[in-house]
Amino acid sequence: MAKQFENNMEECFSTSKGVFYLKSLSLEDNGSVSQVIKKRIEAINDENQESEEGDAFFVADIGVIKRQHKKWKTVLPRIEPFYAVKSNPEPLVLKTLANLGTGFDCASKDEIQRILDLSVDPSRIVFAQTTKQISFLRHAQKHKVKLMTFDNEDELYKIKHKYPGAELLLRIQTDKIKGSVNFGMKFGASLDSTKPLLQLAKALGLNIIGVSYHAGCLIAEPRAYRDALEHARSVFDEAKELGYDMNLVDVGGGFPATMEAGITFEVIASRLSQAVDDMFPKDVRVIAEPGRFYSTNAFTLCTQIISRRVVSTEGDSDPTFMYYINDGIFGSFRTLDFGYIHPVLKVLRKNQEIQDDWSGEKVYTSSIWGPTCSPDDFVAKETKLPKLESGDWIIWEKMGSYTSPASSEFNGIPKPKVYFTET
């Protein structure tokens, strides 16, 4: 990634992962996402192409990240965003957010280090993993990352032993809230276990400063956000009786980038803001861990049809088409089955513009397959598409979160490179 900006470097930063250039979006990579895509594809189609070109690639628009942040600050002014690094840890995304002043939700030693490498103060990090490897906890202690979540007794003993000065958030379960991705089965103390946990923490002399939760993703019921906060409030009250004076609520992630499950971010934000103000006085600090909200719409994945099979069935007048592309379920689409990503498909045929509407054309039953040897490597089993050729491109929007970081290089298929622009 760094190499493509080398000619026009204005500011660079180096991390343990390499050297990256921030403001150095060279003119050739400036322009709309569509322009950058077309330029890359022209380069790939060029007969003088370098041998490594021809792989799938991302085009990322840093302007989207900046606009999402502006939106957050406008509609949720009281809630401080701590970006969930796991959703997309691209150095330029992290650096942009660090410059905008967000905090960061880190889940591991590596994620903590990526943020510290950007000279972010450790007080802007929440170690939001309730079950922490001891070496990760030591790393947090060494670098003064104090704020962290927990939800069980073992974790309390571990923290007492390794990092007694930590500032703890008791993560509570929200599994009554039904979304497409629910966390309650794995994370969060049930409401009948919070009191014994608080008592144990008190006995161990640990400092619990607040409550955290993650309401889940794609929640269709806006009331759910208020319900989760009510649970947090009840734990605040319980803690007060035990002598804790909590002052921080972490409302987690799960905020949609635009509209999901029929609800817009703005509707969720206004319900949540109201609930926060109703339940917590102004001196209680409120943070959140948005991931998808920032990253989803910023990244577009470009895949090429590397092969095609036309299947004719006796009795059917039209053939069906099997398209094989150069990224798949073991790569950037790894979390498709978990409901983490909801890409929007467009096509780019030779000598044409990027198209998202083929309603005026004949369409065929089509399937889209990834490049590995696995028969499970399909991205779309049955969809209607116009007739495409090998060499055409399938463009996937909304691919900025839980794609590249969750992907593998199974079968030797490389992870797509990222080309940045800013609109």
Ligand X SMILES: Cc1ncc(COP(=O)(O)O)c(C=O)c1O
**215 or 302, CB closer to ligand X?**
215
Residue 126 Cβ vs ligand X, minimum distance, rounded to whole Å: 9
Q: In a 3-state reduction of DSSP, which class is residue 13?
A: strand
Query: Which parts of 316-355 interact with ligand X (CB under 6 A)?
Result: none
Examine residue 368 and tell whether it contacts ligand X (CB under 6 A): no
* CB-based contacts of 219-224 (< 8 A; 24+ apart in sequence): 219/177, 219/178, 219/179, 219/254, 219/261, 219/263, 220/178, 220/179, 220/261, 220/262, 220/263, 221/177, 221/178, 222/263, 222/267, 222/268, 222/271, 223/271, 224/174, 224/177, 224/178, 224/179
Judged by CB under 6 A, the residue of 260, 289, 392, 397 near ligand X is 289
Catalytic residue of the set 12, 217, 302, 373: 373
Quote the least distance from Cβ 72 to ligand X, whole Å.
12
**Rounded CA separation 331/343 (Å):** 14
Region from 34-42, 88-96, 249-257, 310-318 binding ligand X, contact rule CB under 6 A: 249-257
For residue 157, count other CB atoms closer than 10 A to its CB.
Answer: 13
In the complex, the smallest distance separating the C-beta of residue 226 from ligand X, rounded to whole angstroms, is 18
Site string for ligand X, 75-94 (x = CB under 6 A): ---------x--x-------
Residue closer to ligand X (CB basis): 128 or 208: 128
290 binds ligand X (CB under 6 A): yes
Given the complex with ligand X, which of 188 and 370 has the nearer CB atom?
188
- Min CB(313)–ligand X separation in Å: 42
Cβ proximity to ligand X: between 186 and 309 the closer is 186
Non-local CB neighbours of 98 within 8 Å, separated by 6+ positions: 104, 115, 118, 119, 120
Instruction: Tell me if 103 contacts ligand X by CB under 6 A.
Output: no
Provide DSSP, 182-233: --TTTSSB-TTTHHHHHHHHHHHT-EEEEEE----BS-S-THHHHHHHHHHH
Nearer to ligand X by Cβ, of 111 and 377: the residue is 111
Question: Which residues, in sequence order, are CB contacts of 30 under 8 Å at separation 6+?
Answer: 421, 422
Q: Is 400 one of the binding residues for ligand X (CB under 6 A)?
A: no
Q: Are 191 and 230 in contact (CB under 8 A)?
A: no
Length of the chain: 423
106 is catalytic: no
Stretch that binds ligand X, among 157-165, 284-292, 300-308, 410-418 (CB under 6 A): 284-292
Confirm or reject binding of residue 97 to ligand X (CB under 6 A).
Answer: no
The contact set with ligand X (CB under 6 A) reads 84, 87, 105, 128, 214, 217, 252-255, 289-293, 401
The residues assigned a catalytic role are 373
